[in-house]
Amino acid sequence: MAQELVSYIGGVILLSGAAFSLLAAIGVLRLPDLLTRLHAASKAGVVGGGLVLLAVGIVSMDAAIWVRAVIGILFLVLTTPVSAHLLARSSYLAGDKFYQNTIQNDLDLVAGKIRPHE
């Protein structure tokens, strides 16, 4: 009975992780510029991958696999924001154009290229 409950819980978590990963992939394909694509990939991708790893850890019912899954989740949570930041910064420094409906570029404001609205 308990094994069936664990299997159902793991299945629900796995399907949730797959749905988040699918949303991240759709966001990467459909969003207009690099910054919004990075946002979709870094946010929904981490949640999707983390939920899949969590489901694997729960269903396995093995302490060694559970520890590896938690370490994998921590690795995703710690490295994905850093890599997304570095990609966005290098894109900005290379002069990549923003989406045409972008209203405000705070990086130009910080760099002194424009004056703040008064």
pLDDT digits (tens, 9 = 90+) for 11-21: 999 999 999 99
Residue 23 within a domain: yes
95-104: average pLDDT: 79
Q: From 49, 39, 34, select the one nearest 95 (Cα to Cα).
A: 34
How confident is the model at residue 118, as a pLDDT?
Answer: 46
Residue 22 within a domain: yes
Residue 51 within a domain: yes
Structure tokens at 20: 């988040």
Average pLDDT of the chain is: 88
Residue 26 within a domain: yes
Residue 58 within a domain: yes
Residue 118 within a domain: no
pTM of the model: 0.82
Residue 116 within a domain: no
pLDDT of residue 115 exceeding 60, the answer is no
19-36: average pLDDT: 93
Strands in the chain per DSSP E: none
Domain count, the chain: 1
Residue 117 within a domain: no
Q: What percent of the chain has pLDDT over 90?
A: 66
Residue span of the structural domain in which 12 resides: 2-111
Q: What percent of the chain has pLDDT over 70?
A: 91
pLDDT of residue 107 exceeding 90, the answer is no
